[in-house]
């Protein structure tokens, strides 16, 4: 569903300011000034700053999961490992395309923000289900005898969120649209290499 252009401007302004100043450090006036809209427009569309955050987080995760489910459906005929690799590429690409808001959400979750966690709990459970299903399918295909597969899945999840939990570690590498695309390619390759090593290890122990 396409969002009204004025509404989209407010969301983009809020995403940038939440990333830079945090939710509590950002006022409705700050958002209105950044988006070049009247403060009353934010009240009209979102019923205030908290409603704006709820809308933005919900929109982020609904589009994210729609994209994840679409790529899973699209790649069903691929080898299990290739399916997982395509899924990982899409996840990092999506998060990087919405880099600032991705960083903000993961930061809030790491701080155990009750409000953000309440909004995201259902989405995160669904993400966990889809990702774990794809990951364990690869291990099952290799007839893995690893007992610590849960820890391996935790490692994978960690790699998918690390750039957005530690944005300052990467900020010098991300300058302009081209560098975002390059970061996605290079970072995804490191995860793919990790998977290849994991699969090779399983074959050695088969």
pLDDT digits 0-9 by tens, 97-130: 998 899 999 988 888 778 788 888 999 999 999 9
Residue 22 has pLDDT above 80, yes or no: yes
Is 136 part of any domain? Answer: yes
pTM of the model: 0.87
Residue 86 has pLDDT above 60, yes or no: yes
Q: How confident is the model at residue 206 (pLDDT cuts 50, 70, 90)?
A: low
More confident residue, 165 or 140: 165
Q: What is the mean pLDDT of the chain?
A: 87
> For 2-11, 69-78, 91-100, which range has the lowest pLDDT when averaged over its residues?
2-11
When divided into structural domains, the chain yields a total of 1
Is 171 part of any domain? Answer: yes
More confident residue, 134 or 203: 134
Is 19 part of any domain? Answer: no
Is 3 part of any domain? Answer: no
pLDDT of residue 169: 65
pLDDT of residue 195: 95
Is 67 part of any domain? Answer: yes
Is 17 part of any domain? Answer: no
Give the C-alpha distances (Å, rounded to integers) separating 69 from 2, 65, 66, 88, 129.
19, 6, 5, 12, 11
The residues near 37 (Cβ < 8 Å, ≥ 6 apart) are: 6, 9, 10
Q: How confident is the model at residue 65 (pLDDT cuts 50, 70, 90)?
A: very high
**What CATH number has the domain bearing residue 107?**
1.10.357
The proportion of the chain whose per-residue pLDDT surpasses 90, expressed as a percent, equals: 60
Distance CA 60, CA 40 (A): 24
Rounded-to-10 torsion of CA 115, 26, 18, 108 = -30
Q: Which region holds residue 79: left if phi is over 0, alpha if psi is between -120 and 50, else beta?
A: beta
pLDDT of residue 119: 87
Phi, psi of 63 (to 5 degrees): -70, -35
pLDDT of residue 74: 95
Q: How confident is the model at residue 6 (pLDDT cuts 50, 70, 90)?
A: confident
Residue span of the structural domain in which 73 resides: 50-204
Q: What is the DSSP letter of 24?
A: T
Is 64 part of any domain? Answer: yes
């Amino acid at each position: 569903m396409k969002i009204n252009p004025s509404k989209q401007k407010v969301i983009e302004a809020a995403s940038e300011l939440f990333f830079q100043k945090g939710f509590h450090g950002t006022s409705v006036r700050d958002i209105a000034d950044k988006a070049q809209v009247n403060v009353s427009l934010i009240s009209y569309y979102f019923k205030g700053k908290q409603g704006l955050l709820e809308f933005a987080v919900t929109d982020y995760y609904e589009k994210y999961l729609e994209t994840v489910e679409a790529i899973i459906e699209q790649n069903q005929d691929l080898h299990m490992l290739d399916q997982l690799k395509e899924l990982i590429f899409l996840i990092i690409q999506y998060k990087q395309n919405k880099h600032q808001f991705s960083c903000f959400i993961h930061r809030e979750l790491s701080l155990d923000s009750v409000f953000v966690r309440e909004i995201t709990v259902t989405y995160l459970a669904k993400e966990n289900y889809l990702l774990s299903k794809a990951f364990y399918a690869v291990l099952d295909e290799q007839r893995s005898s690893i007992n610590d597969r849960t820890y391996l899945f935790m490692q994978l999840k960690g790699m998918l969120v690390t750039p957005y939990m530690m944005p300052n570690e990467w900020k010098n590498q991300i300058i302009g649209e081209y560098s975002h695309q390059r970061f996605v390619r290079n970072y995804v390759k490191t995860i793919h290499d990790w998977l290849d090593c994991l699969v090779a290890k399983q074959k050695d122990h088969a």
